[in-house]
A and B are shown apart, each in its own frame.
Chain A
Amino acid sequence: MPELIFHQRDGSVRKVDAKSGVSVMQLAIQANIRGIDAECGGACACATCHVYIDESYSDRLPDLTDEESEMLEGVAAERRPNSRLACQVMVDDSMDGMGIEVPDRQF
């Protein structure tokens, strides 16, 4: 079972055991991680589940689709090279230990 490490806005760190096959957004909602709002519930329509993902894991992440890339242009916090929408990243075993940083705002 992969373990993901969330860095929350208040500086706290939460380690969460993930089931493969759920999205990072779903995992964050289930684990009650603060600052990942996911207003649209995962429809890739709102850009409020923006996260920064540990760059050393970038080759293990699903490719950025055009849709996600376009939505990332509209995120409220700064867009960085490691910005992703958490609803579009499905968890798998290779992501064990991956760090996920919550940005300072979502809207």
Chain B
Amino acid sequence: MSAGTVIIGASHAGVTCAAALREAGYTDRILLVSEEEGIPCHRPPLSKGYMTGAVSADSLPLKSASFYQEDNIDLLTGVKVTAVNPGQKNVVLSNGKIVSYNYLVLATGSKPRPWHGADLPEHVYTLRTVQDASNIARRAASLSGAVVVIGGGYVGLELAATLRTHFKKEVHIVEMAPRLLRRAASAELSEYVAELHKKAGNFLHLSCPVKAINAGHKTTIDVVLHDDTVINAEMVILGTGIVPEQTLAGEAGLACQDGIVVDKFCKTSDEFIFAIGDCSRFPVAHHAQTLRLECVQNAMDQARVAASVIVGEAKEYAAVPWFWSDQLGVKFQTAGIIEDGMTCVVRGEKSSGKYALFHFYSNGRLGAVETINQPALHMLARRLLAAEISPDMQQAGDVQFDLKGLIGK
């Protein structure tokens, strides 16, 4: 019997890969190793619904416990992989066991970017796990003073929104870039998001690198901005992004470059090892540069690609990236990849709270669509981008023009 597949990391990517292998008829052993304790869970609700109680702990699991039994997937939780030996095709576990593999899938995800300064005082949080979310919610419920969210990316902003609307806190969002969502959204969208947060009563501090986070007096924390302004807070949340978890891969001699380098089949520099999800850096059609994406779609679609290769029905990774964010009662969805230098065309009325931003490359090809409270248009945009069908700019901006009609012509 073959040694089967070992998957390291049991979040969206790892769990989906195990499920996809079985769905495709894979009968060898599957071992899913998770450093975290407990049944693998959805992470997106942690910054919003889980914290407000709208999403209960019961509905967080990605799959039920019976799934792992019925599909004969060995789920090992609370165990770390301490080494990968590509030469011997085995991994070493923190419980001392050595497990052989036929294929290895690295779904190691990412970790919050380490803070560059001195030791952090108490009541400074990062959000990655269910436990982190519970800790933040408990602290938020018990304090009366201000909260500082450092980092204006999606996770930081969702937390800021939750802390404002549900916990009724005074929230300061501190961002070193001149605008919010510098990496993940267009300038046009980030301007709208900034307006929403201001309207909700949140304080924005843009172009404000943080110089220091110091213990204040008793239970407070001083956040010192670059210009020596001090914000006194009772809780600080670091939403300063993540770094890919590539330690094992690097130590095993696999090619890494801000992510584990893979080809369009999610294969690393070792032909028996794959890397999927947040930790992988992959090539993209029409793009000179490789990408690393931090979203559920990428994790799940790459998981299916790796599974397809393992079962001998290799499919290339060619999915259109997409993600969503819910904050302040608004659903934001993005399809495609936003880049600098694109031309933005607005479809619909911004003032109605339901509109979309179509982004075109200089050659006139549609590259990305950001929708605001327009889920159907988002679904349509994904279909257009996947089929590489571009409306022209005038069509994109004309709400009377039937974009659906472009498909199937």
Contacts and interface: CB of A to CB of B under 8 A. Distances in A.
Contacts of A74: 375-376, 378-380, 382-383
Given A32-B64, A40-B44, 14 more contacts: A31-B64, A32-B67, A34-B23, A41-B59, A41-B60, A41-B62, A43-B49, A43-B326, A45-B375, A70-B374, A71-B375, A73-B376, A74-B379, A74-B383
A39 B64 contact: no
B61 A43 contact: no
B66 A42 contact: no
B399 interface: no
B324 A45 contact: yes
Q: Which of B62, B64, B297, B377 has the most CB of A within 10 A?
A: B64
B58 interface: yes
18 contacts: A22-B59, A29-B62, A29-B63, A31-B64, A32-B63, A32-B66, A34-B23, A39-B296, A40-B324, A41-B44, A41-B60, A43-B45, A43-B324, A44-B331, A45-B331, A70-B376, A73-B376, A74-B376
A40 B296 CA distance: 8
A45 B70 contact: no
A40 to B, nearest CB: 7
A68 to B, nearest CB: 9
Contact of B375 (A23, A26, A44): A44
Interface of A: 22-23, 26, 29-32, 34, 39-47, 67, 70-71, 73-74
Given A41-B42, A44-B375, A26 B59 contact: yes
Interface residues of B, number: 32
Interface in B318-352: 324, 326, 331, 333
B181 interface: no
